[in-house]
Amino acid sequence: MPRKIAAGNWKMNGMQSTLSELQRLEDKHGDADIAILICPPFTLISACEDTPFDIGGQDCHAAEAGAHTGDISAEMLADVGASYVLVGHSERRTDHGETDALIAAKSKAAYDAGLIAVICIGETLDEREAGTTLDVIDAQLAGSVPDTADALTTVIAYEPVWAIGTGKVPTTDQIAEVHAHIRARLQDRFDDGSEFSLLYGGSVKGSNAADIFGVPHVNGALVGGASLTTADFSPIIAALEAA
Ligand code: PEP
């Protein structure tokens, strides 16, 4: 069975004072039987060391080390206690012009450092309206998921770009169509394609989480805004535990 994962992407939010929020989350979900992954900004990763949660970076460089001012390697993330890293988030693809080939290289760097890569894919609104969503998904899966991926080292997050931070959420039928398609593609390509965890991301909230987690092949969520406070994240975690 794919692992159930409730993942929080704090993006460029969070100060040392924010860490008290993690204590509140631990009080409520410290012994959860699903994986809870927190991806804080780089500056807070080492301070998260003592939480019972999995910790991830929000990006890594494809190289192990060297002259890359301002960047962080996968090995550095592992060194400060991370066990996951997000790669290919749409904000990286858009703000930093990241390509599928670069995302595949970052994923390989993650594997080399012993990290699990959460590879993010998803269509824009124009692509959805043009009816090309599944073609976009195919191209991103083919280009950004390395041939060496497996279910232990790789999680796929389907995040329609138009649903991220907008409050707009696809219908459950739309999520079902894409997740079933991703599952089929992974099964075609990998012996353990049935075992990869597939996360949905894009405006997940306590009010829609149960419906989303009821969709076949949705094994969890990648949550942005609603992961910043325990009050908002906790109902999502509870819905995933109950699913
Ligand atoms: C995200 O950043 O991956 C995300 C899904 O954001 P939000 O939940 O705020 O839409």
| Mean pLDDT value of segment 76-104 | 97
Please give the DSSP secondary-structure letter assigned to residue 17.
Answer: G
pLDDT at 96 over 90: yes
CA dist 225 and 46 (Å) reads 22
The active-site residue out of 29, 61, 89, 179 is 89
CATH at residue 81: 3.20.20.70
Q: Is the pLDDT of residue 186 over 90?
A: yes
Distance of CA 27 to the CA centre of its chain: 24
pTM: 0.97
Give the total number of structural domains in the chain: 1
What's the average model confidence in pLDDT over 207-213? 98
Q: Are 37 and 84 in contact (CB under 8 A)?
A: yes
Q: What pLDDT was estimated at residue 49?
A: 86
Residue 40, pLDDT score: 98
The protein residue whose alpha carbon is closest to atom 3 in ligand 1 is 224
**Which residue range(s) make up the domain with 177?**
5-242
Instruction: State yes or no: is 26 an active-site residue.
Output: no
- Reported as a pLDDT band with limits 50, 70 and 90, residue 90 is very high
Query: How far does the centroid of ligand 1 lie from the alpha carbon of residue 202, in Å?
Result: 5
Three-state secondary-structure class, residue 216: coil
User: Which own/partner contact pairs does 89-96 have at CB distance under 8 Å and 24+ positions apart?
Assistant: 89/9, 89/58, 89/59, 89/120, 89/159, 90/120, 90/122, 90/159, 90/161, 90/164, 91/11, 91/164, 92/59, 94/161
Q: For residue 183, is pLDDT > 90?
A: yes
* Residue 89 is a catalytic residue: yes
